[in-house]
Structure 1
Amino acid sequence: MLQSIREKVTGWVAGVILLAVGVGLALFGVDFQAATGNYAARVNGERIPVETVRRAWQNRQAQLHQMMGGEVPEVLLAAQRQALLEEFIRTELLSQRAEKFGYRVSDRQLADRLREIPELQVDGQFSRDRYAALLRAQGLTEPQFEADLRGDMMIRQVQLGIVDSSFVTPHELDRRQALQAQQREIDYALIPAADFAAGIEVTDEQIEAWYREHSDEFMLPEKVDLEYIELTRARAEQSVTVTEEALREHFENVKDRFERPESRRARHILIPVEEGDDKAAARKTAEELAERARAGEDFAQLAREHSKDPGSAQQGGDLGWAQRGMFVGPFEEALFAMSPGEIRGPVETPFGFHVIRLEEIQAGEQQTFEEARPELEAEYRRERSQTIFYDQTQRMADLAFTALTELESVARELDLPLQKVSDFTREGGEPFGDDRQIIEAAFSEDVLERGENSPLIALGDDRAVILRVARHTPAEPRPLAEVRDEIAARIRTQAAREAAAERGRQALAKLREDKADWESVTKEMGLANVGARLVTRNDSIVPPAVLRAAFSVPRTRISGESPAFDGVSTDDGNFAVFAVSDVQDGDPAAQPEEARNGMRRLAERQVGNEEFVAYLVEAERQAKIVRTNIAFE
């Protein structure tokens, strides 16, 4: 059922196709069967192919390497392997549910979605040429892509059907608003880590031990030297030969575009006929107005006084210049049969009865070949260069595929320079910047490990590249001598923070003794007490870590006679001890309507997401799922 093409996609296509369900793996009991069969998983009998997951995993690994700037810890890789397989399983589960309950995506909905994708637009409008070019670059067909997009839209319908139908009761909304607007009275004192740094000595042994234990933090990034060949549409355009014969043939094919059709400027008086109106009376009124106009009365004045057309009445009935196809049939037939100054009417249309006066005619005009030549030549060059560029890129791709592991012969055959790039990392590098397609191709298994040429990489509509790795330098630790001072500073900083935290723990031990007094303890220990403040969750003066910790203290620990004491490391490495002595819930009735509506929407979305997670858990509980680890071997 799941005809997935996810293993082929990168960049914008991946963003459209992959549905992020976003459910924590902890929700599911995941176990794997022995590696048998040719599937990565089986969901209610439907198989998820090994190769589908394997290629998606290659893409995921490339992304992880780029994010981590080199080697990725095995624990993270293991978690990501499991997460990726669960994504495929959940997508298949939801796809089956969508089919079972009759969800459908119409052709119109699919077309609307395609038009919304920014990567398929040119100047803000959907471009079929760009759509076709990008699919070609990804090795996809329109039916493949649209089938998967339609399937993912159906899955989205399942999700939104649950999320968007959720609600919260007024009581629950009041409770949430009271918590959100809650205030707490706190005292806090900061213990700066810098106060302890001066007396900390760092030995060579400590530096060397730190270097051994944290060598992955001092890595020189993995690098490759690339060779590549590049084709551009500008180069293709240079090979376009424009002949007189070709231009004239092109002119004949598009001649209609260089014709200015006849235009007519008219005025009219509209007597509308609504449902239930006396049609005969309306016709008679129009006839009388036509006779008055023919008798010499000012047509424009008659229109101002009697026409019911809101768009033209105040302009004396002036309709401006118009060409065929702009008016309803009966009106157009009459207008284009008239002579300047002639008055006709009544003319009946679905809007009512019209009296028409033709003011003037602007004859149609056909541009000559010579007049149209500059535009014709530019258009011809553009179209021919696009065709030549496409043919050249396909030939380049075929030659590179045949050459397999070298590009010199391809460059010679196509008379292209073999260009080189040094020290290209998973973060990118000139001249490609951080282009994801180039990075993923350069560090893919086929190119990096097998030494093969990359597939054709389309960089927009007018540039294409094929590359290979000429040299690979794995990530390696920086020399100890180079990072010694940096390590010493880290050790000193960490020791100072630990000393500040220990001082804070000592203060907390005293504060938690029976009948301990905040003022006396902080004074005795030489702590800088900031003083009591009544704060909200959004207070901008109290350090964020202190604020978060203070609002996390259970209410049951707080009373006026016995404050709750606690401590926390701040975001800048210092330590804070604090006391929470009072809690005051917010008043929901005092909240602005806008804030209440915002809270309601947020709460409904949270409830909806929780219900969707529960729906997924139940769907998996009912399903027959077999997992294997073949795709990751």
Structure 2
Amino acid sequence: MATLQKIRNRGVFIGIIIGGALLAFIAGDALKSGGSLLANSRNEMAEIAGESINIRDFQERFNHSQEINKLMSGQSSIPSEQIERLREQVWQQMVQEFVMNREYDELGISISSEELFDMVQGRNIDPTIRQLFQNENGLVDKDQVVATLKQLIAAPNGTPQKAYWLNIEEAIITQRNLAKYNTLVQKGLYMPNALVKDMAVKGSKKVDFNYIVKSYNLISDSTINVSESEIRDYYSKHEDLFKQTESRKIDYVSFDVEPSTEDYKATEKWVVDLKEDFTEESNNVQFVELNGDSDFNTYFFRQDELTNPEVNAFAFTANKGDVFGPYFENEMYKMAKLNEVKMLPDSVKARHILIRPINGDFKSAEAKADSLKALLAKGYAFADLAKDNSSDQGSAVNGGDLGWFTQGKMVQPFNDAAFSSNKNEVKVVLTQFGAHVIQVTNMSKAVKKVQLAIVDRKVEASQETTQLAYAKARSFAGNNLEATSFAKAITAENLNRRTANLKKETKLIPGLENSRDLVRAAYNSDDMESILLSNDNSAVFEFGNKFVVAIISDIKEEGIAPIQDKVSEIKRAIRKDKKAELIIAEMAKNSEGAQSLLSVAQKENLEVKNASGISFQSFQIPGAGIEPKVISTASMLVKGNISSPIKGNQGVYMLVITNENSDEVSDITVKAFKTRLEQGYQYRTNYQAFQALKDNANVIDKRYKFY
């Protein structure tokens, strides 16, 4: 089953190809008959197009997707960050199925068995299948396709090979259905030639103009009165401006678990008590690995390279085996022992041949590297062997040359081998990349360097300190269960009140590690009068070294924001409109009978500015910003005429066209312009058509209740 192994080896590629289509085949009748999905509201994790989605159905799909991914990747477990991506992928697939399958049924879009045959082994083979069964000549080996399918048919249900194929097959069916739908929508798009030509003509015209602008900031806000009735009227007429997405805000206090004075003393004592054993120990590497918080550092330091001046002075005056410390650095108590003293170069020039392991077989890679080393000993040219054998193509073209590098620039085993070599010595060393044949071809002058064995212990809060912090948090929560007392206690106890703005999908609150549980708690309660409780019914949440007590301080629902939340914004808009009316009236009066824009500018005490190369399709005016009304007026204004006052975003404008020119608009130009427009619309169709259907399906996402 070589092809099946090939499928597995290309697990990442297949994962990308099937994308949103992964696992659709297991939905079956459960998705078509909403009956099995209707369950207790406690287990409802979503509602799509009026149908309830039960968490058990989602979890079943998700668990199956995990197993498929393990099979495709060969992994026994999936990293946590990949789990989140996979869960989101399964969710998006469920939404797509509910939304699109209804459309496909209504429009009669489907894939026949004959069409599927054609996609798998016929004349129009799907790119996914083509990629899997492509031979060395770039052609699809149809005999191999047929042989593989026969093996799959004979394989028992539930075998990994069959699962691979079912997912791939379902993926190409989903892709083809979606492609048909998108094509159908795209074919319905129409750009009238008259409209295209008008847009092309307007877009070809470019104008230069002079303008004046009177900023709204010249009128003080305090001089403009805004009544409550005006606010209500503006709100009712502009509700679309006040749409908001859902969000919640929490206020919380954090009781940090910080080491006490006793914890610092205890850590220092632990290090002091270890000093005698450390001094007598002969195997310093093992001692550090067994007793220290940090691994043994094989690095050799030159004079003044150690950042701690006392340790640096010790290292270059002590005898081998001497111990310095304890000393305190970076919240750790440490002891340093002089382990090695060597004369080493600061930098070396080396070349290498990399043999990458095939299917993780490092022994075979090392054996090949050893055989290459033997060939070098017989007089073979290093550069020729590197070009013919090295997996590092970046250096292979240069005969394996890596140039000059300093200590610590390469991975540790490679670094140690290079800096412990004599000039022209050949070594074989294994790293995570494979087996390397290394030869140092040059090196800088050797200088004295030291290697230190450092035993360290981080100062951490003891159990007693942790319990004390928890007791404070529990006491605060127990005495302040309601919003009013919560707020008063923060002030009275001089605590730091923090806030966090949340969305349902928020995974992490800044400063609080693994804080998803607090987000879920905020969304599982609508009570703004009581502090939040965890799943264990506790008022104290634990996140790393922090104990947190929180309360909901604001809830914003999806839809139109309440008028009281938008009063300040509405007042600014109304003041701007009233300022515009005043300025327009004044400008209109001062421009009566004016022969030039300069005369109006002088009366208004304004500066005449200019803009050039502005067309109907321009996005902004250099120096003025985004002013679509001014741009549209400029594109239509007759040259030499002074415009009426124009209400802009930053102020009121008046302008006069000083120059204009237009590119020739031929039939060929219009045709090319139309093609660009159609391509742009078609490109947006795939997303916008689905988004419109999704919006119409009124997807209610309640995943926050469970994850």
Q: TM-score, normalising length from structure 1?
A: 0.36
Higher relative contact order (CA 8 A, sep 6+): 1
Q: TM-score, normalised by structure 2?
A: 0.33
